[in-house]
Amino acid sequence: MSAVVITRDLMDGSRFRGALPEVVIVRSLDAAELSAATLILLDLSLGLDPADVVAIGAPVVAYGAHVDTEELEAALAAGCVDALPRSKVFRRASELLA
């Protein structure tokens, strides 16, 4: 397995699938697919603790609202390899998921 996106937003899932059709979309940390992920993209709007996602072991790229710089910075402090505004993550989706 490769990239797994944690989101409940159907539009986000559609955009990521447009960039990489085989990307796996899950809705929670309970998803079994996360254990085999080589990259995790985390939608910060879910309110999950980024440290819990980082603890899974795969590199984590968090994404959220561009105006919520504190949340993006907190994701980096929690161990995410990157934290991007939503607009940038979708512009770079193909690159991130490759």
Kindly report the CATH number assigned to the domain that includes residue 46. 3.40.50.2300
Residue 84 structural domain: 3-97
Tell me the pLDDT tens digit for each residue of 63-80: 999 998 999 999 999 999
Counting the structural domains of the chain, the total is 1
**H runs (alpha helix) in the chain:** 10-19, 50-54, 69-77, 86-91, 93-97
Provide the pLDDT for residue 10. Answer: 93
> Which pTM value belongs to this model?
0.93
Find the mean pLDDT for residues 6-12.
Answer: 94
Instruction: For residue 41, give the nearest of 64, 65, 11 by alpha carbon.
Output: 64
